[in-house]
């Protein structure tokens, strides 16, 4: 019992370390691997999360540890962690010492299919493991028009880099509905719709059209969807997402300290009502969708840890599940070349966030239903603890 838990947490620490510090490898190492065939390939649906770009070279999206944790593959040639290939097996190493052999993630079947207009379904809906899907309907953000991009974000740079090679572009509602229906038939059970900033009216109309298409193609009234949107100037617009059939909603505040928010998120400050309006929007969303049905996110590592935890605690007390994602100084962002805090800093933060969630009674299913990628560290902490509890309960029974 304790041995299993210790192994899981040891692998979790390693997952955080390789997420923050990246993994080094020869970009051509995957010529031995059936990427985009048997194994799931990386899709640039929004952001480049590696520390440098790799146009024309497909990477697998991630791998599993020996005890089943899902690791993202974040490339950084400077890292002390590396992938090597030896006699038909890939290994994760640290300073050249083998840690364990890796099992790359299998490609979902729907990735090999096309929509009725001939578009590859893999270009429309990204599979994020554990039955979760993400649609990034627009690989650009209108905040760039006034040079008001969030300083940590590289969505526009990612489109500029990969648009021609990967065909990044707008996903229409029909394409989304058809692809989600295929994925749901294969066992998927949650969907997040997200994208860069667009005109408010256009955003609402798009989300409503997508919901109609999903219901038409799946036959489901409740398709367990999360609408990830900006804070609208007219908060009553939030009601429309609920009426359209989305079960949950997400509005990412990104930074809790209001002064740092102004500096890091100038567009959200100057064009979208400012920090206080974003907090008000989240509280209003709880009134509409209910406690545990509203998500936000803070980019962890840009502001002091105490500030991030203060924000997560405050929002949790209001019924909002606020996640924290480890800051990766993405290529093409204004903060490219900066450094995220060391892995131990992030590990301590995640443990404290999980404790806050437990304190306010949030369940794993609530975390799952409102998040786009349930492979986060806090999801893992919940799964590790629940796995131990399940074993104890079975022994007692």
Within this chain, do residues 296 and 268 fall inside the same structural domain, yes or no? yes
Mean pLDDT by 10 residues, the chain (397 residues): 88 98 96 97 91 93 96 97 97 98 98 97 96 92 88 93 84 97 98 85 90 98 96 95 97 97 95 95 98 98 98 98 96 96 98 98 96 95 81 42
Residue 360 structural domain: 114-389
Within this chain, do residues 148 and 58 fall inside the same structural domain, yes or no? no
Length of the chain: 397
Domain boundary among 104, 139, 154: 104
Q: How far apart are CA 114 and CA 124, in angstroms?
A: 10
- How far is the CA of 300 from the CAs of 47, 309, 350, in angstroms? 17, 10, 10
Q: Are 244 and 211 in contact (CB under 8 A)?
A: yes
- How far is the CA of 219 from the CAs of 20, 42, 126, 214, in angstroms? 41, 30, 21, 8
Within this chain, do residues 79 and 126 fall inside the same structural domain, yes or no? no
Within this chain, do residues 165 and 264 fall inside the same structural domain, yes or no? yes
Within this chain, do residues 96 and 121 fall inside the same structural domain, yes or no? no
For the four alpha carbons of 298, 323, 212 and 242, in that order, the dihedral sign comes to negative
- How far is the CA of 74 from the CAs of 20, 48, 220, in angstroms? 8, 9, 36
Q: How far apart are CA 9 and CA 370, in angstroms?
A: 24
Within this chain, do residues 129 and 49 fall inside the same structural domain, yes or no? no
Q: How far apart are CA 242 and CA 246, in angstroms?
A: 5
Question: Closest by alpha carbon to 161, among 23, 44, 335, 22?
Answer: 44
pLDDT attached to residue 197: 79
pLDDT attached to residue 196: 85
Domain boundary among 104, 137, 153: 104
Tell whether 321 is covered by a domain: yes
Within this chain, do residues 63 and 198 fall inside the same structural domain, yes or no? no
Tens of pLDDT along 175-233?
A: 999 999 999 999 999 999 999 877 667 889 999 999 999 999 999 999 999 999 999 99
207-225 burial: b if 16+ Cβ within 10 Å, else e:
bbbbbebbbebbeeeebbb
pLDDT attached to residue 394: 44
Q: How far apart are CA 358 and CA 225, in angstroms?
A: 24
Tens of pLDDT along 64-81?
A: 999 999 999 999 999 999
Tell whether 8 is covered by a domain: no
> Which two tokens mark 13?
């620490």
How many folded domains does the chain comprise? 2
pLDDT attached to residue 1: 55
pTM above 0.75, yes or no: yes
Domain boundary among 73, 104, 135: 104
């Amino acid at each position: 019992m304790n041995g299993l838990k210790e192994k899981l947490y040891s692998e979790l620490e390693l997952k955080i370390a390789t997420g923050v510090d990246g993994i080094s490898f020869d970009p051509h190492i995957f010529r031995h691997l059936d990427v985009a065939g048997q194994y799931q390939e990386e899709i640039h649906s929004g952001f480049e999360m590696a520390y440098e770009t790799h146009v024309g070279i497909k990477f697998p999206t991630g791998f599993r540890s020996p005890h089943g944790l899902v690791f993202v593959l974040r490339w950084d040639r400077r890292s002390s962690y590396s992938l090597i290939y030896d006699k038909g097996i890939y290994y994760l190493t640290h300073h050249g010492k083998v840690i364990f052999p890796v099992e790359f993630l299998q490609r979902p079947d729907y990735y090999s299919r096309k929509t009725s207009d001939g578009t590859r379904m893999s270009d429309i809906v990204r599979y994020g493991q554990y039955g979760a899907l993400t649609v990034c309907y627009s690989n650009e953000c209108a905040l760039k028009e006034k040079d008001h991009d969030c300083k940590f974000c590289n969505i526009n740079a990612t489109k500029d880099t990969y648009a021609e090679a990967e065909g990044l572009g707008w996903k229409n509602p029909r394409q989304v509905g058809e692809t989600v229906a295929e994925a749901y038939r294969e066992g998927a059970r949650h969907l997040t719709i997200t994208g860069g900033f667009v005109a408010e009216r256009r955003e609402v109309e798009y989300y409503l059209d997508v919901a109609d298409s999903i219901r038409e193609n799946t036959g489901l009234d409740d398709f367990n969807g999360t609408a990830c949107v900006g804070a609208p100037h007219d908060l009553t617009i939030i009601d429309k997402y609920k009426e359209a059939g989305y079960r949950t909603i997400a509005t990412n505040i990104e930074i809790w300290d209001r002064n740092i928010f102004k500096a890091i998120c100038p567009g959200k400050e100057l064009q979208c009502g400012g920090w206080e309006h974003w907090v008000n929007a989240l509280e209003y969303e709880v009134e509409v969708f209910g406690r545990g049905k509203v998500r936000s996110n803070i980019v962890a590592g840009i502001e002091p840890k105490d500030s991030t935890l203060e924000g997560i605690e405050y929002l949790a007390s209001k019924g909002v599940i606020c996640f924290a994602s480890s800051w990766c100084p993405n290529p093409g962002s204004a903060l490219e070349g900066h450094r995220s805090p060391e892995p131990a800093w992030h590990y301590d933060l995640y443990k404290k966030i999980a404790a806050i969630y437990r304190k306010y009674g949030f369940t794993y299913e609530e975390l799952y239903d409102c998040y786009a990628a349930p492979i986060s560290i806090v999801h893992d902490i919940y799964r590790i603890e629940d796995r131990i509890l399940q074993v104890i309960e079975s022994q007692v029974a």
